[in-house]
């Protein structure tokens, strides 16, 4: 080949097949016999030919990239490894197929006079044909992202529960709610009667859903929440919440937080105020991030299968692209992980 870079035509010639057949093999599209496929791959290997992404994209309109837009302030993002776990799961499915993950981190709030940064990111991904699909996270009440992506012609899958019964592709754990119910049972079983809940932002679908599960589980035991506070997933918000709870004359003996970062920040703030955890106050988190095992006392928490959710979401997209069979990936149900931050209610000890 005298130094010239081999082309798809060279591969087709050596394999004795048409350029279209090589293209089919490369793009994994259309029917092609095993023998032809073998001949094409052997020829490509002999010539050391690899199709460029741009060339493949031109022929097949696939970019072999999946997009994910994380709408969080960079600070919050790094404090909460939630996304890292989702990404691990997504990458686990994409990597073997040679797909990449195109990540955009955008702020929570648009600048003055600017469009919503997440929406702008999707428009750009679509306009520039950067991705074959996107993974959406943090289902919000009144979410308009699916309508937008449908308009833009971009495949999408949601990690979580859609805000209404839209025919929207989404992945969720089986047995949703089982973890929070187990947490309530664990506390009530240890004699707790005054149990508080500190939620995330109100616009999240899971905030509303989880609080209802919490209230229903208490009601099933003839109890009501002692307090129900809305917070914002930040450490500062958790410290404010725990301070308010502990200042109350009828303070709770146990608190559930909507994520682990808030739970650890709240637990630490309580100990700094001289409150023994779990002697005087039991604390439960949500997600089971590695953080919970690093601290002392180790955090009791509701484990979410975030890696499984990421894998399942990637599979839905890859199936819609014809890359894999549409077999659902199992996402383990949430479960309670009991560690050191919960114990008997103080009035029983």
CA dihedral of residues 139, 143, 144, 148 (deg, nearest 10): 0
Q: Hey, which residues between 108 and 137 contact a second copy (CB under 8 A)?
A: 124-125, 127-130
Closest approach of a second copy to the CB of residue 300, in Å:
15
Which residues have C-beta within 8 Å of that of residue 169, sequence separation ≥ 6? 156, 157, 158, 316, 320
Closest approach of a second copy to the CB of residue 162, in Å:
26
CA angle 326, 331, 333 (to 5 degrees): 150
Size of residue set near a second copy by CB under 8 A: 61
Q: Does residue 341 interact with a second copy by CB under 8 A?
A: no
Binding range to a second copy, per CB under 8 A, among 13-21, 76-84, 187-195, 212-220? 76-84
- The string of DSSP letters for 280-299 reads T-EEEEEE--THHHHSSSPP
Residue 124 φ/ψ region, left for φ over 0, alpha for ψ in the -120 to 50 degree band, beta for the rest: alpha
Residue from 50, 109, 174, 349 binding a second copy (CB under 8 A): 50
Residue from 19, 32, 47, 102 binding a second copy (CB under 8 A): 102
Q: Does residue 230 interact with a second copy by CB under 8 A?
A: no
Question: 337 vs 104, 254, 265, 284, 309, CA distance in Å?
Answer: 32, 16, 19, 9, 18
Q: What is the largest CA-CA distance in the chain?
A: 86
Q: Hey, which residues between 254 and 313 contact a second copy (CB under 8 A)?
A: 261, 264-265, 267-269, 271-272, 289-291, 293-296, 298, 307
Closest approach of a second copy to the CB of residue 77, in Å:
5
Residue from 1, 20, 103, 220 binding a second copy (CB under 8 A): 103
Q: Does residue 54 interact with a second copy by CB under 8 A?
A: yes
Q: Does residue 228 interact with a second copy by CB under 8 A?
A: no
Distance CA 301, CA 340 (A): 10
162-200 CB burial, b ≥16 within 10 A, e <16: bbeeeebbbbbbeebbbbbbbbbebbbebebbbbbbbbb
Residue from 42, 45, 78, 144 binding a second copy (CB under 8 A): 78
Which residues have C-beta within 8 Å of that of residue 122, sequence separation ≥ 6? 67, 69, 134, 145, 148, 149, 152, 154
Binding range to a second copy, per CB under 8 A, among 62-70, 137-145, 160-168, 179-187? 62-70
> Where along the sequence are the contacts to a second copy (CB under 8 A)?
50-58, 61, 63-65, 67, 74-75, 77-79, 81, 83-85, 87-89, 91-92, 95, 98, 100-106, 124-125, 127-130, 235, 261, 264-265, 267-269, 271-272, 289-291, 293-296, 298, 307
């Amino acid at each position: 080949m005298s130094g010239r870079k081999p082309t798809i035509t060279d591969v087709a010639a050596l394999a004795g097949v048409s350029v279209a057949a090589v293209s089919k093999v490369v793009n994994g599209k259309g029917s092609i016999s095993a023998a032809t496929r073998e001949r094409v791959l052997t020829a490509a290997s002999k010539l050391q030919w690899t199709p460029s992404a741009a060339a493949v994209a031109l022929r097949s309109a696939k970019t072999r990239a999946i997009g994910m837009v994380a709408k969080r302030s960079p600070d919050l993002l790094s404090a909460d490894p939630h996304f890292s776990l989702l990404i691990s799961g997504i990458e686990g499915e994409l990597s073997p197929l040679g797909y990449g993950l195109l990540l955009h981190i955008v702020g929570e709030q648009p600048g003055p006079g600017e469009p919503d940064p997440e929406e702008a990111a999707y428009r750009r991904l679509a306009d520039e044909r950067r991705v074959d699909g996107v993974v959406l996270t943090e289902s919000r009440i009144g979410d308009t992202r699916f309508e937008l992506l449908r308009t833009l012609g971009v495949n999408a899958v949601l990690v979580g529960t859609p805000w209404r019964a839209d025919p929207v592709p989404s992945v969720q754990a089986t047995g949703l709610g089982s973890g929070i119910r187990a947490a309530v049972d664990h506390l009530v079983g240890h004699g707790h009667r005054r149990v508080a809940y500190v939620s995330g932002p109100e616009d999240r679908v899971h905030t509303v859903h989880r609080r209802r599960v919490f209230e229903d589980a208490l009601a099933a035991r003839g109890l009501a929440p002692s307090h129900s506070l809305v917070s914002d997933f930040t450490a500062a918000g958790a410290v404010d919440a725990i301070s308010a709870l502990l200042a109350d004359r009828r303070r709770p003996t146990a608190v559930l937080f909507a994520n682990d970062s808030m739970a650890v920040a709240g637990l630490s703030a309580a100990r700094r105020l001289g409150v023994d955890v779990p002697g005087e106050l039991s604390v439960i988190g949500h997600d089971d991030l590695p953080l919970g095992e690093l601290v002392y006392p180790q955090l009791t928490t509701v484990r979410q299968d975030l890696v499984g959710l990421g894998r399942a979401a990637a599979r839905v997209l890859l199936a819609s692209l014809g890359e894999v069979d549409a077999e659902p990936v199992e996402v383990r149900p949430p479960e309670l992980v009991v560690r050191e931050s919960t114990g008997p209610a103080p009035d029983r000890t």
